[in-house]
Amino acid sequence: MHTFDYPQSRMLFDRACEVIPGGIYGHFSPAPLGQTAAFPFFAARAEGARFQDVDGNEFIDYMCAYGPMILGYAHRAVDDAFRNQLALADTVSIASPRMVELAELLVERVAAADWAFFAKNGADVTAYAVTIARAATGRRKIVAIRGGYHGTHPWMQAPGHHGIAEDDHRHCIRIPWNDFAALEHVVAEHEGDIAGFIATPYHHPTFGDSVLPAEGYWQNVEALLRKHGIVFILDDVRCGFRLHRGGSNERYGFHPDLICFCKALANGYPIAALVGTDALRTVTASVFHTGSYWFSAAPMAAAIATLQELDHVDAPRLLEIYGRKLNDGLIRIAKSHGFTLRVTGEPCMAYYRITDDESQMLHQRWCAECTRRGAYFAPHHNWFVSTAHSDADLQRTWDIADEAFRALKTAA
Amino acid sequence: MNNDLLKARLNLHAVLRNLEDLPELDTRAAEMIRAWRLAVCFSVHGGPAATLEFSEGRCRHHAACPPHPDVKLFFVSPAHLNAMFAGNSSPLPLKGFSKLGFLKHEFAELTRRLQHFLRPEPERLAEPAYLRVHTLLTLLTGVFAVPHLAALDPVATEIAAATPRGSLQFVVDSEGPVAHLVYSSNGVESRKGALEQPSACMWFADWPAACRILSGTLDAFTATGKGLLRLDGTIPLIDNTSLIMERAAGYLA
Ligand SMILES: Cc1ncc(COP(=O)(O)O)c(C=O)c1O
């Protein structure tokens, strides 16, 4: 099998470093990839489940832009909706009818939603949700899960990170995932001072196995929060529309007050949404939050088309089927080479880890060997599959994984 | 928070500790200590202690005072010790009055030699041999500072508590393993040299890259992208250690 080189990517990176701090920042930074040399840095084009880098190497993409891509790149219906709206009006001085239509669509399909609000990024709406919780309750504290990620606003960051002051997260209390007793304890300790509880539908930290909700966890959480008048915020930025058409809470049977959506909402076009219950409608209207591009209509049109298309193909079912097949195959292939591949979380956005080496260096090398053969695997983030991933992609991925394991053994 | 206590521990166990390595890296320092045969103890009232034991052309650093040192320098408080390191105060010699001249001249010259490498004039960094010694001592200072920061700096304590158990090896490509840290239920330990199977490895392509990364003139994101730095294995160990290590500057500046 041919293995890839990345001269153009590296040249672009050198140019980037001259004019962009860190070259490539944030979650696209090569830093946490481990075997950085095996990874492309810049993409030239993308279609379906694949992208091509600037060196002409083609990858089956298992990161799906870290979540936004769900129907495949260059999806005809979504892109047409975007382009058509662009030709009509995008960012203008007044709001677009698409905003109303998209809100209506979300209210119709998301059982927990009586209203919707739009922004650009996940953190726009997680931060808004927390502010609304404070405004609604007149309280200060927010409870979140240790290792949970809700964006880069200072209150969400871990202590000691650059530029973060102690006060920034003074009112954010972190508790372990799936630990209902810890939540009870915190609620008792700060009786009357907890505004909101924010968590993802299940625990999907970077650098660690994913953990699904324990039996009864969400139902207990919901009952406790209700009893104490604490606003229940679901951060569905990453999982939203992948696990259930109406929000991931439907998958696990609970009822949040606010749900944050973003990534898969418009198949890659920039838009985030906060939806909520009637009880929080007036207070939400009173909490000022906005942005220069939050009314741009083309991404709203793309979101409408995406939601329709997701229903049309019954996306959560397709994703689950592909995810299960992918995972079963990879586990089997690993085993045939004497390795144990641990797969955790929901099958369509699972976290993978070779357990034969606790340090994860082996896992990093395997992801690197796969990537330089055309299956784009980031080692320490959950992967994603899309409805565009085909059986041919699946077979190719298995072949690559197989050869990558062989390469590991040869190197050893 | 008692800044002075942490600062004193850093001065004794991270900065002064470098005298153990200096003679092996620098012929002038080796020449200076060649004939020395004595143990100098630094003792802080109610605080840390350290001993430098010179013999056979070598220096050994111990994190305690032996029962009978040749010279015992006493400091009434951590602040007193820190003032001496800043050049603003003198210790009270409790033992070894006959060695006062030695301390004032020979020993002071050795510590000036250490400073020469730890606080570089920028133009010296163009000399590869100087850059290597400077960078190695800077790295060792950082590595040996981590356990004390993790114990006494409140933010570092919080970061250390959230750091996975395991070991982190520092490697410079041309040099091999330089030093390592071990995070366990007993806290953090620092040691020189190699580990059999580290949980994580921070690999620098060469000394100039290490120098720029450690001095903060090259960020880790740029460096990894350019292949000058590689983070292998349990990356949160490396991320968290970097955050802890960076805090040393706030005390040693
Ligand atoms: C669960 C979760 N919440 C919030 C965010 C933040 O979203 P954004 O990066 O769009 O601000 C992310 C991004 O990865 C996420 O995964």
Which of B95, B118, B141 is the C-terminal boundary of a domain?
A: B118
CA of B152 to the centre of ligand 1 (A): 34
pLDDT in tens, A59-117: 999 999 999 999 999 999 999 999 999 999 999 999 999 999 999 999 999 999 999 99
CB A239 within 8 A of CB A249: no
- Whether residue B101 is found in the same domain as residue B126: no
Q: In what order do the strands lie in the sheet with A50-53?
A: A43-47, A50-53, A58-61, A375-376
- Whether residue B12 is found in the same domain as residue B57: yes
Residue B1 has pLDDT above 90, yes or no: no
pLDDT in tens, A311-359: 999 999 999 999 999 999 999 999 999 999 999 999 999 999 999 999 9
Our CA dihedral for A7, A10, A11, A17, rounded to 10 degrees, sits at: 180
Chain centroid offset of residue A335 CA: 29
- Whether residue B107 is found in the same domain as residue B135: no
Domain boundaries defined on chain A: 7-66+315-411, 76-313
- CATH number, position B58: 3.30.1050.10
- Whether residue B141 is found in the same domain as residue B233: yes
Q: What is the DSSP letter of B15?
A: I
Average pLDDT, chain B: 94
pLDDT of residue A58: 98
pTM: 0.94
- Whether residue B85 is found in the same domain as residue B127: no
B226 min Cα distance to partner chain A (Å):
7
pLDDT of residue A309: 98
Pocket of ligand 1 contains residue A238 by CB under 6 Å: yes
The CATH T-level fold of domain A7-66+315-411 is Aspartate Aminotransferase, domain 1 (3.90.1150)
Closest CA to A228 of A178, A285, A190, A268: A190
Class of domain A76-313: alpha beta
As a whole number of angstroms, the distance between CA A228 and CA A184 comes to 10
Take residue B146 and report the two structure tokens written for it.
Answer: 């981590």
ipTM field: 0.92
Any CB–CB contact under 8 A between A42 and chain B? no
Q: How many domains does chain B divide into?
A: 2
pLDDT of residue B194: 96
- Whether residue B68 is found in the same domain as residue B139: no
pLDDT of residue A159: 73
Categorize the per-residue pLDDT at B102 as very low, low, confident or very high, splitting at 50, 70 and 90: confident
Please give the residue range of the domain that contains residue B80.
Answer: 3-118
Residue B98 has pLDDT above 90, yes or no: no
Q: What percent of chain A has pLDDT over 90?
A: 95
Which of B103, B118, B133 is the C-terminal boundary of a domain?
A: B118
Task: Give mean pLDDT in consecutive 10-residue pieces for chain A, a chain of 412 residues.
Answer: 97 98 96 95 98 98 98 98 98 98 98 98 98 98 96 86 87 97 98 97 97 98 98 98 98 98 98 98 98 98 98 98 98 98 98 96 98 98 98 98 96 80
Smallest CA–CA distance from B199 into chain A, residue? A359
- Whether residue B90 is found in the same domain as residue B33: yes
Mean pLDDT of B43-57: 94
As a whole number of angstroms, the distance between CA B25 and CA A217 comes to 59
- Whether residue B187 is found in the same domain as residue B212: yes
pLDDT of residue B251: 94
Any CB–CB contact under 8 A between B202 and chain A? no
Pocket of ligand 1 contains residue A243 by CB under 6 Å: no
pLDDT of residue A156: 87
- Whether residue B54 is found in the same domain as residue B101: yes
- Whether residue B44 is found in the same domain as residue B130: no
pLDDT of residue B2: 67
Which residues have a Cβ under 8 Å from the Cβ of A206 and sit 6 or more positions away?
Answer: A32, A149, A380, A381
- Whether residue B71 is found in the same domain as residue B162: no
Residue B81 has pLDDT above 80, yes or no: yes
CA of A152 to the centre of ligand 1 (A): 8
- Which member of A37, A159, A359 has the closest CB to residue B199? A359
Which of B118, B151, B183 is the C-terminal boundary of a domain?
A: B118
Closest CA to A335 of A251, A386, A267, A405: A405
